[in-house]
Amino acid sequence: MTASPAGRQGGIAPNRNLLAAGVLIDELVRCGVRALCLSPGSRSAPIALAAHADDRIEVTVHTDERCAGFFALGLARASGRPVALSCTSGSAGANYLPAVIEASHSRVPLVVLTADRPPELLDCGAPQTMNQHGLFGGHVRFAQAIPEPRPDAGWLRWLRTRVDRAVEAATGANAGPVHLDLHLSGPLSAAVVEGDVPAGLDASDPVGVHGRPDGRPLSPWTPSLPTVPRRSLNRIGALLANAARPVIVAGPGAVHDLDGYEAVIGLARLLGAPILADPLSRLRTGGGLPVISGYDAFLRAPEIAEALMPDVVLHLGRTPTCKHTWEWLQRHRAVERICVDSSPEREDPSLSGTEYVRAEAGWVAAALAPRIRKSATGTDWLRVWADADRAVAAARADALRDAPTGFEATLIEALAAAMPGDARLVVASSMPIRQLDAFWAGGPQQVLANRGVNGIDGLVSTAFGTAAADPARPTWAVIGDLALLHDAGGLMAAPRLGVGLVLVVINNGGGGIFSYLPLAATAAGEPGGAFEPLFTTPHTTDFAGAAQMFGLSHVRPTNAAELAEALTWVPGRTKLVELTVDRDDSVARHRRFWAQVAESVGPIVSDAP
């Protein structure tokens, strides 16, 4: 079903603002937008009313614009569709900035609609007014100021094309946020203004006013296809085919579907190449060779990183989560490294890429496979990596043998047991994603994280947005205590949405990640003990009280049975699971694990072919 620009009002808009807002919402829906995250306000009321009147788009209301932005981010990433945001004028839109920045770097499509004052009220001291043009700077793929609506079919046609242009930019190869700044004067309601919308407005251009009868956007577009020159594919294929020590590094977003996964796995098997699969790559499925999951634990040892020198690296997707991977790449800068990513951005902190291929990794892998013409599965090079991975698995088992419930590796093992194959797991971008990288062997579950700029902000709201994308699909989230405190307002969404979410907070009394950095050794010895107050920022927050305030259940498990029960997902119910971690004990256990891995993997790689 398609709706008229004025929604349920049968195409008769009460005033020009409602007419324009209805056209805007209608065209967004035609472009694939199915959700609008709305923060209440007067200036944006026409957009809110038009969206509410259109049953093709779901509206969720968020008091805090910052929470709304991250909710939309999680929803867009999990659903694979662009999501719209709408707020009033003034500083409201500025609160979207952290989510817009994350969406930009994570390549998540958001359509930001900021309501704005009419031009004559700008720069004259009018209340709730600021310069909103260029509000998000270079963090948006497209920005357009929309002047005050005109009850003119030609103007409405122009508006539709601007919406199409924005969504095309948001969903292209370099997906990301876009911004439409909408100047609106009164009336900011559904009040009838006689003569404001001329009778027979659509007579001259019914498509401009009502949209295409077939439901398509007014100005559809066709995404471009990869066009890697044959000579480049031949050269890269020959390089890989002749390699004795090929390695595939799969960073976040390496593949997006089953076809891409199978193409990359197939290419790796032909080459006899290990795949260093980031948890966010969608390649760490737990299916064994050629996927390697334990690389973080042994590449941190300099002598092992040196012994495992590749002769060709095929890097798929973005920068790996594990810093030891790109430090390993930096150590071997002289090695030929082909970077495959559909985005025009260069994510290459090791500054060692020798060629950048702008195409989907799955497509490139499928195109390269016929150029290899050999099967090298089980070669000695791959065997060395496989043996090292098995040594890491054994060290993981040892680390878990006497571990308390309040140890992150224990949590990850319990999560792996609790989550079904179709589950989604949202992981905080500080320690939790690193611990998942180290202790999760992999599985079919989809892992998501805000690793664009790696902030701790908005993680609660991101998790709720992810769960809302498909309420029937089980969703878990693991965040730190400071991340929960930073976005405690995001818990407000729980009773209103009624989605199923198991939200695990690792409470280690502050910023645990700093305990793993050289800073801990230097700052701890300063006069007055600068490390704790300046960096770990200890707190005494009662998370049970926070859960009660928002009507959530809260549990603090103390043994394995309680942890397993706490992690059980229940449809339509949000649970806050608090895992209390002794930070010093956890750091010591991590270091023993790394030492055991280095001791056992060292002899394995010493005679690598």
For the segment 95-127, what is each residue's pLDDT rounded down to a tens digit? 999 999 999 999 999 999 999 988 877 777 787
- Per-residue pLDDT, 120: 77
Q: How far apart are CA 337 and CA 35, in angstroms?
A: 40
Residue 280 has pLDDT above 60, yes or no: yes
The tens digit of pLDDT for each residue in 182-200 reads 999 989 999 999 999 998 8
The tens digit of pLDDT for each residue in 440-481 reads 988 999 999 999 888 889 999 999 999 999 999 999 999 999
Q: How far apart are CA 19 and CA 11, in angstroms?
A: 8
Name residue 50's amino acid.
Answer: A
Q: Is the peptide bond before 187 cis (omega within 30 degrees of 0)?
A: yes
Residue 16, burial from CB neighbour count under 10 angstroms (0-12, 13-18, 19+)? buried
CB within 8 Å of 222: residues ≥ 6 apart = none
Q: In the chain, helix, strand, coil percent, each to 5?
A: 45, 15, 40
> Crossing angle, helix 431-439 and helix 408-418, to 10 degrees?
70
Q: Rounded to two decimals, what is the model's pTM?
A: 0.92
| Token pair recorded at residue 77 | 């990433």
Task: Report yes or no: 157 and 208 within 8 Å, Cβ to Cβ.
Answer: yes
Full set of structural domains in the chain with CATH: 16-209 (3.40.50.970), 230-390 (3.40.50.1220), 405-581 (3.40.50.970)
Task: Report yes or no: 414 and 563 within 8 Å, Cβ to Cβ.
Answer: yes
- Rg value, the chain, Cα: 26
What is the percent of the chain where pLDDT is above 70?
Answer: 92
Among the ranges given (62-76, 94-108, 515-529, 564-578), the one the predictor scored with the smallest mean pLDDT: 515-529
